[in-house]
Structure 1
Amino acid sequence: MMAARTVDPAKGPFAQPPRGRLQAQVALAGLTSWRVGGPADWLFQPADLDDLVDALRDHARHSPELPVTFLGLGSNVLVRDGGVDGLVIHLSGVLNERRRLDGNRLLLGAGLACAQAARFSAREGLVGAEFLAGIPGTVGGALQMNAGAWGGEIWPLVESVGTVNARGELHSRTPRDYVIGYRSVHGPEEEWFTGCVLQLTAGDADVGTRRIRELLRERSAKQPLGLPSCGSVFRNPEGDHAARLIEAAGLKGLRRGAAEISFKHANFITHDGTARAADIEWLLRHAQAEVQRQFGVQLEPEVRVLGRPVDGDDANEGTS
């Protein structure tokens, strides 16, 4: 097994202490919906946007060799058992502003949970964002992958976004600055979302609230929400569904250690709280390989795999 990395607090990512919370060697399992994974070398939760900007500027001058990873609710990431190099910036609950602007426009912070954004828009009598209630992540994460559910996606609603780059420079951008596709967004490198303005439609607050409840009931009936997971593991290939292909390949219920391809929904990998990240990644890679072998379809993960494996683990080795 790989030995735990030793982080010297005297050689941290910043020359000056930030106002937010900075910790060394913090386990990330509790900050992800899969509840697995090793530690971050450094975990930083900024106090606010100004603190984030100052910290990134300090990092760029003091320790630019340390990689930077942004983390929201951790619902679309698999953190490997060896942990994550460098600086992890945790935005969940920090940039969580929600405010109605003029007309039917909403300003939403990147650290705001999508479910909170959906409920806020409904209370404001605005419709079009109800689908966000079914996305188990933050607004920033939704922007990063053009998240969607029940036929809705976030980027068709976007009027503008705020970003910050690795040098701590703030930008305001429009959808024209990005190449946006199904579960994919490509834009300026080393920039991260700080928030967005959505353009919605006037409607009835009670109707929007009821619609959210209906969608959440449907989600609960079809998905294994009581167990740790990342939500959907794979994007749906054009004209098909990843869950159908995985089930047709005979993989429902396949286990590796404590991890399992869910009987309830084959595009979910769940566990009982005791799995290793390596077991989950093995099932992910195995499902890809079997669907490719049997049907000639390459499944593309929605989830990002981060960090270092533990020595001796091989997600692609063998089968159960």
Structure 2
Amino acid sequence: MPPVRGRLTHGAPLAPLVWFKSGGAAEWLFEPADVADLETFLYALDPSVPVMGLGLGSNMIVRDGGVPGVVVRLGKAFAKVERLDDTTLKCGGGAPGILVTSQARDAGIGGLEFMRSIPGTVGGFVRMNGGAYGREVKDVLVEAEVVLRSGETRTLALGDLGYTYRHSGLPDGAIVVSATFRGHPEEPAVVQAEMDRIAAAREESQPLRSKTGGSTFKNPEGHKAWQLVDKAGCRGLRRGDAQVSEKHCNFLLNLGDATSADIEGLGEEVRAKVKADSGVTLEWEIQRVGVSA
């Protein structure tokens, strides 16, 4: 491995870093000191070594055999939020949604409230075109700064990202180090009220205090994934300690000691039952990374 100024750990367990609390280790976990440290490391790293970014681990299954290559996790140095003007914030790739929305509220910027409900970081939002409650990243993104697998830093405008539903055209190994979002002028009290409304809706409908990965499947055209799962008789379905949530059928839960194989296998069983029941093929929204044990 090339020398670093940040922290580079061999065989780092990833289960503590992801919401499902399951899965294997990273061959290498790199927490860069700053953008220059990340650039230098990736430039010097053997091009054959795979690289993957990790945010808060909320939308991810890490398979039990772990993740080969390098997992990059952005720390506090990448979690700053800066106000550029009356409607625009520049946010570090490691900044969580709750920080972005709090800063937007304090700055009198509306339109970013939906990020409050996504349990992830800016880097993940940008890569996955994260969204909720009728809005998504493509509606507010101006540009993103990314460090490519080659170590080159590039600024990409909205049109460069090839956004579709929960997907971007970012190349493998690219790490989002910052993003600029633009909202609209709004009274802080109005922004707070909208965030409170979203928080209440999540509390009512989602299993928030569970070991879960968020929405499991993408909503197919003309359908809601949870309704298809429920109609196929999968509410509460179990495989070991993995369970389809009884509160929200598009969430999978780790009730205790589920392996990632249990969780992913349960998801595949749900997909098969939905296909047999309705003819619809559900697509995974949760990222599944690494190798099986």
**Fold shared by both chains (TM-score > 0.5):** yes
Aligned pairs for 1:1-320 within 5 A: 13-14=1-2, 16=3, 18-59=4-45, 63-188=46-171, 190-310=173-293
CA-to-aligned-CA distance 1:133-187 (integer Å, 9 cap, x gap): 0001111101111111110111111111111111211111111212211111114
Q: Determine the C-alpha separation between the residues in 2 that align with 1:90 and 1:298.
A: 33
Q: For 2:211, what is the secondary structure of its paired residue?
A: coil
Do 2:52 and 2:173's aligned partners in 1 also have CA atoms closer than 8 Å? no
Q: Determine the C-alpha separation between the residues in 1 that align with 2:287 and 2:75.
A: 17
Q: Determine the C-alpha separation between the residues in 1 that align with 2:75 and 2:23.
A: 18
CA-to-aligned-CA distance 1:208-229 (integer Å, 9 cap, x gap): 1121122112101110111100
Do 1:72 and 1:92's aligned partners in 2 also have CA atoms closer than 8 Å? no
* Residues 188 and 90 of structure 1: CA distance in aligned 2, closer, same or farther (over 3 Å): closer
Do 1:92 and 1:113's aligned partners in 2 also have CA atoms closer than 8 Å? no
Q: For 1:309, what is the secondary structure of its paired residue?
A: coil
Shift of 1:307: 0.8
**Whose radius of gyration is greater, 1 or 2?**
1
Shift of 1:190: 4.1
Q: Determine the C-alpha separation between the residues in 2 that align with 1:197 and 1:286.
A: 40
Shift of 1:65: 2.2
Counterpart amino acid of residue 279 in structure 1: D
Do 2:206 and 2:248's aligned partners in 1 also have CA atoms closer than 8 Å? yes
Aligned-residue CA RMSD (Å) = 1.2
- TM-score normalized by structure 2? 0.97
Shift of 1:94: 3.9
Structure 2: where are the runs of 5+ without partners?
none
Counterpart amino acid of residue 180 in structure 1: Y
User: Which stretches of structure 1, 4 residues or longer, exceed 3 Å deviation after superposition?
Assistant: 187-190
Q: Determine the C-alpha separation between the residues in 1 that align with 2:284 and 2:172.
A: 21
Structure 1: where are the runs of 5+ without partners?
1-12, 311-320
Counterpart amino acid of residue 198 in structure 1: F
Q: Determine the C-alpha separation between the residues in 1 that align with 2:172 and 2:254.
A: 35
Shift of 1:189: 5.2
Shift of 1:278: 0.5
Q: For 1:217, what is the secondary structure of its paired residue?
A: helix
Q: May I ask how many residue pairs the two structures share in their alignment?
A: 293
CA-to-aligned-CA distance 1:269-297 (integer Å, 9 cap, x gap): 01223111000001111111111111111
Shift of 1:188: 4.6
